[in-house]
Copies of this chain bind each other. A is one copy, B any other.
């Protein structure tokens, strides 16, 4: 298993690109297209918010036959909470299908941007009708750039590995990085792979990889109306199709988790106003789900996140946030580490080297470990600190 550079076009038989069609007022690229030269097995994970944007509802329907050949994505408008949302999502799929010369039921749609304002569909139609040559086997990065909103850098990740003598590639792109002024709806991810795999196994792998990556990142705890993670597998690697669990499937799963976690960590690092990427690791838990629940409670605590911004060795807030997670545990058995510095033992504070704690907290990437002393399960959640800039980005009328 080897990490390689690139994103959605590292896998054989995929093209992608990004272009500006005027949805973003600043003229930045706002339309991305990901295309597989052959029909691909496809799957998706979508927001659990009961308020779901039209592209989410539409793409779920498109995936009923477990196949797709392209994904059209736009930034700058979420196509959410508008009366013409469904019609717009359908029109986007049709525009992409006409441009690519494929049936429109093979196109998935994703949008990110303003909620409650109709998407200027004609700008997408007119742009694609001009037949611009903007997708290619080298266009992955341009696609990753075209889906950015308040992201400060494009997010790509990729791996390659050998499977029965063939080289398999998995590459992805994602965008964060919070829900954004005036009111945006946010996380999009697309992963492509040339592996040959059965639809049921692909779904299973995406679910697990999503749970271990995008579902374990929090910037502000807000789940948007548009969050989605899509995957296309076109079989160009020529391996014997994966149809059951086993070493080959586990290898693919490992690769998919690697790509998704890399993207998820980039999202946390690029969280709105973030100055630090922080991994909250809960160990010694009775079950993995309890570890996740506690880690998320800590990772979403404003008091923990402001203390991290303040580089304050504030284990009391960490312990308190674990305590109100809803999970029952014995506080008297808890140990808390900042990096490798033990600051709390048996639920009580220790006298520790403040200067050493400061050095840990000054890092741009840091690990906080909470050991519950209850069992052997563990889980990590990635988050970022809560800074003045988060307030500035999200409350900007007053800045």
A contact set with B: CB distance below 8 Å: 48-52, 80-83, 114-117, 178-179, 181-183, 185, 220-225, 301-303, 306-312, 314-317, 319-324, 327-329, 331, 344, 347-349, 385-388, 390-392, 394-399
Contacts and interface: CB of A to CB of B under 8 A. Distances in A.
Given A312-B395, A347-B81, A391-B306, A49 B324 contact: yes
A51 B117 contact: no
Contact of A348 (B81, B317, B399): B81
Contacts of A391: 306, 309, 386-388, 390-391
A221 to B, nearest CB: 7
Given A81-B331, A312-B395, A312-B396, 10 more contacts: A50-B328, A51-B323, A52-B331, A178-B303, A181-B307, A225-B319, A307-B395, A310-B396, A385-B395, A391-B391
Contact of A390 (B116, B302, B317, B321): B302
B394 A316 contact: no
A97 B301 CA distance: 39
A301 B398 CA distance: 18
Given A179-B317, A316-B116, A349 B310 contact: no
Contacts of A50: 323-324, 327-329, 331
A222 B302 contact: yes
A82 B225 CA distance: 44
B116 A310 contact: no
A182 B313 CA distance: 9
A182 B320 CA distance: 13
A314 B114 CA distance: 10
A50 B323 CA distance: 5
A255 to B, nearest CB: 30
A116 B309 CA distance: 21
A388 B386 CA distance: 10
A331 B51 contact: yes
Contacts of A388: 388, 391-392
B80 A316 contact: yes
Given A181-B312, A349-B116, A395-B310, A223 B320 contact: yes
Given A183-B316, A312-B397, A398-B311, A302 B116 contact: no
Most chain B CB within 10 A, of A220, A315, A322, A394, is at A394
A222 B303 contact: yes
Contacts of A399: 310
B394 A303 contact: yes
Nearest to A323: B51
A317 B324 CA distance: 25
Contacts of A324: 48-50, 222-223
Contacts of A303: 178-179, 183, 220, 222, 394
